[in-house]
Amino acid sequence: MAAVEAGERGAGKPAGPAWRGGFGRLWAAAVVSRFGDALRGAALPLLAVSLTDSPVLVSLVTACGFLPWLLFGLIGGAIADRVDQRRAMWAVDGVRAVLMAGFAVAVWLDRAGIGLLLALAFALTTLQTLFDNAATALLPSVVGQQALGRANARLLTGQEVMGRFVGAPLVPVLLGLGAAMPYAADAATYLAAAALVASLGAAPHERAPRPPGGSLRRDIAEGLTVLWRDRTLRALCASTTLCNIGIGALIATLVLHITGWLDAGNTGYAAVITVYGIGSVAGGLVAARLTERLGRVRALVVCGTAQIGALAVLGAIRSLPVAVAAMGLFGFAGIVWNVTEVTMMQQRSPDGALGRVSSAFRTLSIAGTPLGALLGGVMAQAWGFNTPALGAAALFVCGVAALVPGMRSVIN
């Protein structure tokens, strides 16, 4: 496969995706769905704590958000390449709306137990493996190859704004109206997203679904083979996996770092999380222009290096203002990395295989997050609450080092 960046810096400015038509509705569906996810994501842990005093059971609710990716992620990608991706997306959202509406009724009737919470989290994430892979595979046919970078940036930025600054802060208001309200609202967002995706017309260059013949095992193997044989995607996946181990360690212990090591309390923790979100949104706003100016490979290296510096400063300097600034930079660089990563995967995957390549990439890289969470807990307990941030910095160094050799063919 030809290097996607050959001549990129000398080319004219890529066209942005048109808001009218397919992309506008796809963007709206993604943002509305993220709003509902934020409501549920903030409300479920509070409900779990009210139902059980077991830390293990509470943590299992979060674990169920990762486990289906490891079990079914590859299958979801294979199915996404076989079916009409638009229909798969609106059908999945329809099923998720029914599940959430049923759960809202159970909460309203005071019939929701911890077992139902675990089953719901597992089922929703299992369905998400098909939805996310279908969405990744559908986007290139909606906006075209030249507009992918800007389209991904707008999608991720919209989702970040809606999730962090609209959805999550609204949860206390909804809970004040009734314990079931966040879940009922989430069900409504799934219905709205399903209607938006169902209204999409056929894209000009949309590929036909794969014929149903052949085995899912062979389809999955083909996706893994494409990922392995593309040196650039293989390096990017290895790098992302290493970085995700570090991110898992950081996320799992950040509250201990801020409230314990920095002694900044809940207010300090809220400040860090807020500025991290602001940094992420700012990164999304400039991600496309930054990668067009630097080139995708240089953007990845610069962002990875910036995150190394932010993590090292976070773990070494005992100051709340420094921690706030470091997490803002970490969020900024992280969103630019994510936009670049998804765009490169979409551009380098062969027609008809993007769903499977995407699922292989996601499954392998997501596996690092729960491993990192466990590692972070062990480090914090053994050596201090600031050591997970330093360990994450070391893992990011390894991630950037793993990235560079596979990118030489793209630069040259």
CATH number, position 381: 1.20.1250.20
Q: pLDDT tens across 198-247, in order?
A: 888 655 445 555 555 567 888 888 888 988 988 989 999 999 999 999 99
Statement: residue 386 has pLDDT above 60: yes
| Domain identity same for 38 and 185 | yes
Residue 8 inside a domain? The answer is no
Report which listed range, 134-138, 164-168, 296-300, is most confident.
Answer: 296-300
| Domain identity same for 220 and 339 | yes
Tell me the pTM. Answer: 0.80
The pLDDT value recorded for residue 64 is 76
| Domain identity same for 228 and 314 | yes
| Nearest alpha-carbon partner for 331 in 309, 307, 314 | 307
Q: Mean pLDDT check: name the lowest of 43-47, 187-191, 304-308, 347-351.
A: 43-47
Contacts (Cβ under 8 Å, ≥6 apart) of 161: 281
Mean of the per-residue pLDDT values for the chain?
A: 84
| Domain identity same for 267 and 300 | yes
Q: pLDDT tens across 260-283, in order?
A: 899 988 788 888 888 999 999 999
Total count of domains within the chain: 2
- Residue 4's pLDDT band, with cuts at 50, 70 and 90, is very low
Residue 2 inside a domain? The answer is no
Structural domain boundaries enclosing 185: 22-199
| Domain identity same for 181 and 232 | no
The pLDDT value recorded for residue 8 is 37
Residue 94 is which amino acid?
A: G
Please provide residue 318's backbone torsions phi and psi, each rounded to the nearest 5 degrees.
-90, 80
| Domain identity same for 125 and 162 | yes
The pLDDT value recorded for residue 317 is 95
